[in-house]
Amino acid sequence: MIETADRIKETGATFTPIGLADYLSDRILTHVEKNRPVILDPSCGDGALLRSIGHKLDLVNAVYSLKGFDMEARYLRKAEELIRSNCRGDLELKQADFLEEIDLVDNQPQLLFDSSDGLNRFADVVIANPPYVRTQVLGANRAQDLAAKFNLKGRVDLYYPFLISMTHALKDGGILGVITSNRFLFTKSGESIRKFLFDNYEILEVIDLGDTKLFEAAVLPAIFIGRKKVHAINKEAKFLKIYEDLNGYEGKTLSKDTVYNVLNTTADGYFSDGAKRYKKTSGSLKFKNTKENTWAMLSSMEKNWVDKIEQASVGVVADYFKVRVGIKTTADKVFIGDKWEELGDRQPEESVMFDLISQQNLKPWSLCGKKKLRVLYTHECVAGKKQPIDLKKFPKAEAFLQSHREVLEGRDYVIRSGRKWYEIWVPQNPDAWQRPKLVFPDISPTPRFYYDESGKVVNGNCYWICATKADDNERLLLVQGIANTNLMTKYHDLVFSNKLYAGRRRYFSQYVQNYPLPDIKSPASRTIIETTLLLNSSEEASTTNKLQRKLEQIVAEAYGVEPVFTLD
C-alpha cells in the first residue's frame, strides 16, 4: 500500500533504503562481541534493518534472533516475507506500539513476545529508524501520556521516548545503532537527549549524514552508535559527517560509485558519485563542558585550531551579555508592515509605531531594503515595568486594532493567559530598545551582525544583545567585528555544526553566547573595535572590502591563528 503524505506526516513512517540499512548494520557489527545476539527493531516497518543485519550475520554463519515491533499489520506482513526469505535466524514479530509495550516500572523493561517459554526477552543489539514526528502531532491525549510516562517536557520529537525505551530494552553492554534527526546534535532542544545519551552510553560513533537526502524524510539524518554502560565516562568518540554543501569549493573530487562507498572510504575530502558531490570529514567528537553539553565534531587539525582560539580567549559572549530573541506578535500581518502610509489619516499614532529590524533588511554593517518595515508596538514601560498600552489614549491605533479584532482574538492562547486581546505575544521591555544593541538573524547563509543605536525594535526572526553598562558599547563592537568574520564562521561551523539546506546556518542564542572573546584591552582587540567602527560607517564597496580583509587579519592575530579569507 502506498502511504499518503498526510499519513506519513502523522505517523512519521520512513522506510530505510537498502544501502543505508547495510551501512548501519556494518557499523553496528564492528562493535558486537556477544555470540547468539538477540537483535531488536522497535519500529521495524518493512523489515529492512532486521533483514540487513540478519543477512550479514548469515554470511559468517552466526546464530542469532531477530525481534520486531510495528503498529501496522501490513508492514509486518511485508517484513516477515522479506526477512524469512533472506535470513536464517529465529524471527518474532509483534503488532504493537513499542512505547506502550515497554514497561518502565522500577526501571525494569518488559518485552513480552508470544514465546512458548513465556520469558521476558532482553536485547543485545537494537537497530532502529524510529518515527520522526513531534509528540504534539499525535494528539493531546497521546502526547500527555508519553510525557507522563517518560517524564518529558515541552515540544519533544517522538524519537526521544524511543531512545529511552530502546535503552531500557538493552542489556548492559548492549549496542544501540539508531538513525535519528541530526537536530539533537546541535540544538538547545536536543540538550536533554545529548545528556541522556552521554550519561547512559559509551559513545562509539556519531555519523552526521547532513543534507545528503539518503531517504524520504523531512529531516537531516544522523546515526548514533553506543554501548549501554552504567555511569559512562565520555571524553571523545569517533565522528564522521558528510554534506552536499561544499562551502563554495569548486576543485577536484574523488570518484566513488555510491554515497555509501564515500562513507566507507577511510579518506576525507571531496567526492562525487556521478550525480552529486560531497564533502566528507572524520575525526573526534569533542564533548564541551558547557551548560548545553555541546558536542563538537572535529578532525585532529580542526581540534588543534579550535583549541588555539579557545586558549587565546578570556571568556565568551555569555560572560558579558544576555542573548535575547526579538518580539513575536503571532499576527505579523496585523502588527507589521511596510505600507502604513496607505492608511492615510487612519494610520496609528506615531508614538506607538517603531522601525523594525528583521531578517529581510539586515546586513552585517548596515540595513538594506527600499521599503521600511514598521511595527505597531502595543507595550510600554511604566515605572520600569513592561505593560500593555491603554488603547483609549491612542484612538487611531485602537480603531486599527478593532478592525482586526477577530484575527487577534483568534489567538486564544493570549486570552487564556490573562493577556489583553491586542497584546503582542512575546514583547520585550521597550526601554531596552533605546540602548546600543547588536542584532543578527536566526537563519542566514553568512553572518549578519548589525550594530544599532537608533532605538529600532527587533523582530522575532532575529536575536539581539544590548548594552547595560557604559563600557558595553565597545564590547558590542568587538563582538560584531569578530562575529562577522570568516574565522568565527568557521569556528561556528566546526563547534556547533548546525547547517540547513543550501548552506544556511542557524544562529541560535546558545551558539552565539558561546563565541570566545579575546581580552578587550589587547592591542588586537582595540584595532578590531576601530576597524568595526569604520565598517559601520563605510558606504564604498571597495573601502568595505579592504576593511573586511584587514578585519580578518587582525581577528586571526587576536587568536594566534592564520587568517581565514575563504571558507572551504
Render pLDDT for 287-333 as a digit per residue (tens, 0 to 9). 866 666 778 878 888 889 999 999 999 999 999 999 999 999 999 99
* Residue with more model confidence, 252 or 113: 252
Alpha helices in 31-103 (DSSP H): 48-58, 73-84, 98-101
Predicted confidence band at 146 (pLDDT cuts at 50, 70, 90)?
Answer: confident
Amino acid at 93: L
Per-residue pLDDT, averaged over 419-443, amounts to 92
Residue 25 reports pLDDT greater than 60: yes
Predicted confidence band at 480 (pLDDT cuts at 50, 70, 90)?
Answer: very high
Tell me the chain's radius of gyration from C-alpha atoms. 27
Judged by DSSP in three states, 453 sits in coil
Domain residue spans of the chain: 5-229, 324-559
Kind and range of the H or E run holding 529: helix 523-537
Per-residue pLDDT, averaged over 451-475, amounts to 93
pLDDT of residue 22: 96
- Phi-psi label, residue 154: left if phi above 0, alpha if psi -120 to 50, beta otherwise: left
Query: Which of 374-378, 381-385, 560-564 has the least mean pLDDT?
Result: 381-385
* Residue with more model confidence, 416 or 291: 416
Per-residue pLDDT, averaged over 132-154, amounts to 68
pLDDT of residue 12: 44
* Residue with more model confidence, 90 or 511: 90
How many other C-beta atoms lie within 10 A of the C-beta of residue 84?
Answer: 15
pLDDT of residue 112: 43
Amino acid at 335: F
Phi, psi dihedral angles at 82 (to 5 degrees): -65, -45
Mean per-residue pLDDT over the chain, rounded: 87
Of 74, 107, 57, 110, which Cα lies nearest the Cα of 2?
74
For the chain, give the percent of residues with pLDDT over 70. Answer: 89
pLDDT of residue 181: 86
pLDDT of residue 500: 66
For the chain, give the percent of residues with pLDDT over 90. Answer: 61
Render pLDDT for 43-67 as a digit per residue (tens, 0 to 9). 999 999 999 999 999 999 999 999 9
Residue 38 reports pLDDT greater than 90: yes
First to last CA, the chain: 45
Question: Could you tell me if 467 and 435 are in contact, meaning their C-beta atoms sit under 8 angstroms apart?
Answer: yes
CA torsion 391-392-395-397 (nearest 10°) is: 0
**229-252 as b/e: b if 16+ CB within 10 A:** beeeebeebbbbbbbbbbeeeeee
Judged by DSSP in three states, 516 sits in strand
Grid coordinates standing for 469? Answer: 553598562
Residue 168 reports pLDDT greater than 60: yes
Render pLDDT for 439-448 as a digit per residue (tens, 0 to 9). 999 999 999 9
Of 397, 389, 404, 405, which Cα lies nearest the Cα of 349?
397
CATH of domain 5-229: 3.40.50.150
Kind and range of the H or E run holding 375: strand 374-376
